[in-house]
Structure formats: C-alpha cells, structure tokens
C-alpha cells in the first residue's frame, strides 16, 4: 500500500514538473511587439517596411503593429502618447518602438539596432511598448 502511494506521489510530482516546463516554454514563445508609425509617400518608411517584412519572415514571433499617421488622426495621437512615454519628440517618420527603445527615421544603423533589440527580446520578455513609461 505504501509503495502505491509513493508511486502515485512520484507520478503527480513528475506530471506537475512537466506541466511547469511546458508553461515555461510557452511563456518564452510570446511574441515581441514592435510599433511602426509611418506616413504615405515617405521613402524612408517604405524602406523600413521592406526591412520589417524581412525581419518578420526571419523571426516569426515578431508582431508588427503599424500605423499610418498622415491621414489617420487616431494613429498620430497614439504616436504622440507613446513618444511622451519614451521621452522623445518625433520630428518626422518613421518612428519605431520596440522594448524600451525608440527610433526616429530609418537607416542601416537603425536597422541593425532594431534587429539586436529584437534578438534580445526573444531571449527575455520585453514589455509591450504601448505600456512603457520612461518617467
């Protein structure tokens, strides 16, 4: 009888351990959210869109939330709210938020930085930039 109870307790422990590991793996597979604010007709925005498409294919857990700000007042308002949280003053587009970083404009250096931050966020959990507060 004692052996049966011990076996049952060991099985319960093993199943709870497996469940815990599965939950941990699922947590590590959360997506990384990137906010991308752009304007119609902006050549730098078009270059960044292509770059982000490439990143999305390379890193399927990347979730891109993009907002056109020239014709969409609500998107412009969201940009200003997020910019305030990050302590920046966007002077143009594109504007990108990922993890605790923000970028204004787009060039090769920014592309490299975005990918580095993305890789870092894939290893550890980065908060949704929408909820980031620098101050």
Q: What are the pLDDT digits (tens) for 56-95?
A: 999 999 999 999 999 999 999 999 999 999 999 999 999 9
| Beta-strand pair 32-38/95-98 | antiparallel
Instruction: Give, for 102, the enclosing helix (H) or strand (E).
Output: strand 101-104
Burial class (CB in 10 A: 0-12, 13-18, 19+), 70: middle
Instruction: Estimate to the nearest angstrom the gap between the alpha carbon of 118 and the chain centroid.
Output: 7
Q: Return the percentage of the chain with pLDDT > 90, whole number.
A: 74
Cα 36 to Cα 1, 20, 75, 114: the distances in Å are 63, 35, 10, 11
> Domain 31-131: which CATH class?
alpha beta
Q: Break the chain into its structural domains and give their ranges.
A: 1-29, 31-131
pTM of this prediction exceeds 0.75: yes
């Amino acid at each position: 009888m004692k052996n049966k109870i011990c076996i049952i307790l060991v099985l319960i422990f093993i199943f709870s351990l497996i469940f815990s590991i599965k939950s941990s793996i699922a947590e590590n597979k959360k997506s990384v959210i990137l906010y991308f604010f752009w304007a119609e007709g902006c050549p730098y925005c078009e270059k960044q869109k292509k770059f982000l498409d490439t990143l999305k294919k390379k890193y399927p857990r990347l979730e891109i939330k993009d907002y056109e700000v020239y014709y969409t007042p609500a998107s412009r308002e969201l940009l200003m709210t997020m910019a305030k949280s990050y302590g920046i003053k966007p002077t143009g587009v594109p504007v990108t938020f990922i993890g605790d970083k923000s970028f204004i404009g787009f060039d090769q250096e920014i592309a490299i930085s975005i990918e580095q931050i993305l890789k870092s966020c894939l290893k550890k959990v980065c908060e949704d930039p929408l909820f980031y507060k620098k101050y």
